[in-house]
Amino acid sequence: MALTPTFGGQLMPWLRNNSDMLLQASAGLLGGSNPQEQMAGMVQGVAAAKRKNRTVEYLRKSEPELAQAIENGDLSGADAYRIYLGKKMEAESPGKLSFETLPDGSFGTFNDKSGQFNSLGTAPKPVTPEKRSFQTLGNGDYGFADPNTGSFTKLGSAPKPLDGAKAPSGYRWADDSQTRLEAIPGGPGTQVPGELAARIGMAENWLTNDLPTIRKGVTDGDSTGWYDRAQASYGVGKPGELERKFQSGVEVLSRLLSGAGMTQVEIDEKAARYMPSKFDTPDSLQTKINQLEAEIRAAGNAAMRGRGSLPPSAGGNDLDALVNKYGGM
């Protein structure tokens, strides 16, 4: 673009197209205390404006959103170019390998970039609690029977029929003969539904693995400030990784609240309040994290109390106890 206009009707278009350059040059002139400093300031202002224009033109071809952000004043040219380089390096990386185990028992490596899974073998499928059934044998022994293997895990033996004999904790006599026991609905002998166990497993995974990472990232200053929020919105770098872990926590809370008698709109509004914003400070974000953790634990405990006819005051069925019992399924 020409630095000087030609005459004959082109002066005003030239002034409009070079307003940033004129503004930078004027600021350089006004900032000098003598002619030499004024001239140097003007040259530096013109050079800065030209660099900005070249950056905008370069990004407009591949990253029009970043180019628009520079023109709007949301990002400097240097910050926008750093974001562009980060995305380019991530796109050119070969991808990270992680060890995964599929639901069918296959295990191997997964490439997060190509989405390819390289199977290394198949593990024997574990027997989950849902596949076991409580049985009482003819000799009075009671326990869990596995239909797949035919094995029987003895828990104890029923006492001989006696007037006033007391059934084991969590069980009751099936009839007056006191020869057969059955689990009390809602008690510790009642199986946990598979869907509920899956929700609790997701909650425990987030609390155990993602929550400590989020806390460290916020403490290190990786999720606050305008630059970090800009990176998070594009899913780039450490801020982008923390943003995804925040979203996982919000999704866990939404799933736990789906059976709490709330509409989906109410659930989404309640969960979204815990997402980081560009106005958050490290202290305010730590407060959000603490509240999100408390909500997830409370929702998990409430979900467990609501299964079957389990009374709210029954012990050993809160979120932590369930995970200890079933291994964080």
pTM, to two decimals? 0.38
pLDDT at position 111 over 50: yes
pLDDT at position 310 over 80: no
Q: Give residues with Cβ within 8 angstroms of 250, minimum separation 6.
A: 271, 272, 274, 275, 292
Please indicate, yes or no, whether residues 229 and 261 belong to a single structural domain of this protein: yes
Residues 225-283: pLDDT tens digits? 777 777 777 778 888 888 888 888 888 888 877 765 567 777 777 777 888 888 888 88
pLDDT above 90: percentage of residues in the chain: 1
pLDDT-derived band of residue 57, with 50, 70 and 90 as boundaries? Answer: low
pLDDT-derived band of residue 313, with 50, 70 and 90 as boundaries? Answer: very low
Structure tokens at 234: 């594009």
* 107 located within any domain: yes
Residues 204-217: pLDDT tens digits? 888 888 899 888 88
* 16 located within any domain: no
Q: What is the CA radius of gyration of the chain?
A: 32
* 177 located within any domain: yes
* 44 located within any domain: yes
pLDDT-derived band of residue 73, with 50, 70 and 90 as boundaries? Answer: low
* Secondary structure (DSSP) of 241-261: HHHHHHHHHHHHHHHHHTTTT
Please indicate, yes or no, whether residues 208 and 292 belong to a single structural domain of this protein: yes
Residues 260-270: pLDDT tens digits? 556 777 777 77
Task: Provide the pLDDT for residue 218.
Answer: 85
Task: Provide the pLDDT for residue 191.
Answer: 60
Please indicate, yes or no, whether residues 202 and 158 belong to a single structural domain of this protein: no
**For residues 143-167, average pLDDT:** 72
Please indicate, yes or no, whether residues 250 and 278 belong to a single structural domain of this protein: yes
- Domains: count for the chain: 4
Please indicate, yes or no, whether residues 199 and 322 belong to a single structural domain of this protein: yes
Please indicate, yes or no, whether residues 99 and 81 belong to a single structural domain of this protein: no
* 43 located within any domain: yes
Please indicate, yes or no, whether residues 205 and 307 belong to a single structural domain of this protein: yes
pLDDT at position 46 over 50: no
* 6 located within any domain: no
Helix axis angle, 35-62 relative to 64-72, nearest 10°?
Answer: 150
Q: Give residues with Cβ within 8 angstroms of 110, minimum separation 6.
A: 97, 98, 99, 100, 116, 117, 118
Centre a 10 Å sphere on the Cβ of residue 311 and count the other Cβ atoms it contains: 9
* 13 located within any domain: no
Please indicate, yes or no, whether residues 151 and 274 belong to a single structural domain of this protein: no
SS3 assignment, position 236: coil
Please indicate, yes or no, whether residues 320 and 204 belong to a single structural domain of this protein: yes
Task: Provide the pLDDT for residue 35.
Answer: 57
Please indicate, yes or no, whether residues 171 and 206 belong to a single structural domain of this protein: no
Domain that holds residue 105: 95-125
Please indicate, yes or no, whether residues 164 and 136 belong to a single structural domain of this protein: yes
- The percent helix, strand, coil of the chain (3-state, each to 5) is 50, 10, 35
Task: Provide the pLDDT for residue 179.
Answer: 72
Write b or e for each residue in 130-155: b if 16 or more Cβ atoms lie within 10 A of its Cβ, otherwise e.
eebebebeeeeebbbeeeeeeeeeee
Please indicate, yes or no, whether residues 211 and 148 belong to a single structural domain of this protein: no
Task: Provide the pLDDT for residue 160.
Answer: 59
* 160 located within any domain: yes
Residues 89-105: pLDDT tens digits? 766 666 676 777 777 77
